[in-house]
Amino acid sequence: MSARTVGNANGGRDGDWPRPPKCRIIAVANQKGGVGKTTTSVNLAAALSMHGLKVLVIDLDPQGNASTALATEHRGDIPDVYQVLVGDRPMAEIIKEVPDMPGLWCAPATIDLAGAEIELVSLVARESRLSRAINALDTHSFDYIIIDCPPSLGLLTVNALVAADELLIPIQCEYYALEGLGQLLRNVDLIKAHLSPKLNLSTILLTMYDGRTRLASQVAEEVRTHFGDTVIGTVIPRSVRVSEAPSYGQSVITYDPGSSGAMAYVDAARELAHRGVAA
């Protein structure tokens, strides 16, 4: 099924969404694992690209799950983000167009990236190597660059935060949802103060919402009370389809466009896109 067909199957493409005034570079980060970082990165990117926007996903997680979900080869000697960060390879040389998804590209991660945390320590300007690589790209070719971060606050995530203009934090609607979030926000403040004043916590997305439980509603209410309009109106429900899609090398939006998870991610991406017009 092509991207265009998928868009129509999902209740119509409702036209192309507005292009931001300049390329929006968004880091998707949360040091907790299993909160939906990769799922969010991939599905927001897919939805944006299907609505007329050009999107690059940079896979900064050594597990390479975003690369897998976008059907981008990331095994063996494939040129990857590791070579960009540690070997100074131009980002343009590793970017691959995602099959059957016009307007969507991926910069893949291989397992080599797992060693980058250690190797970066001894390199000059270790915190800004990703930023330098992105700046060397023709960013006018993209409307969005979405960086999928690993579940840690190490040098890979720091590189993403220094490179980004915006931070998007997925928060799962479960117990301990806000645990550790304070440390991430303190790191953001340090990066703004010392490395990248432009970084802005622009978006929080509530994920894994189970409407059958009171806990999910309580967590969502607590997050909205604390972060206000930073929280996107749409919540992402728990969905088997969302979990299944990556094993088929797809986003849930292409795998099952009529599912609740796919429709929620399209709605969230629409809100993200329209927020960017006023940004």
Question: What is the CATH number for 79?
Answer: 3.40.50.300
* In-domain check, residue 9: no
Contact 54, 103 (CB under 8 A): yes
* In-domain check, residue 1: no
Count up the domains in the chain and report the number.
1
Mean pLDDT of the chain: 89
Q: For position 277, what pLDDT does the model report? A: 67
* In-domain check, residue 54: yes
Q: For position 279, what pLDDT does the model report? A: 47
Structural domain harbouring 218: 16-278
* In-domain check, residue 2: no
Q: For position 14, what pLDDT does the model report? A: 66
* In-domain check, residue 156: yes
Question: Across residues 158-183, what is the average pLDDT?
Answer: 90
* In-domain check, residue 11: no
Which tokens in the block code for residue 48?
């944006």
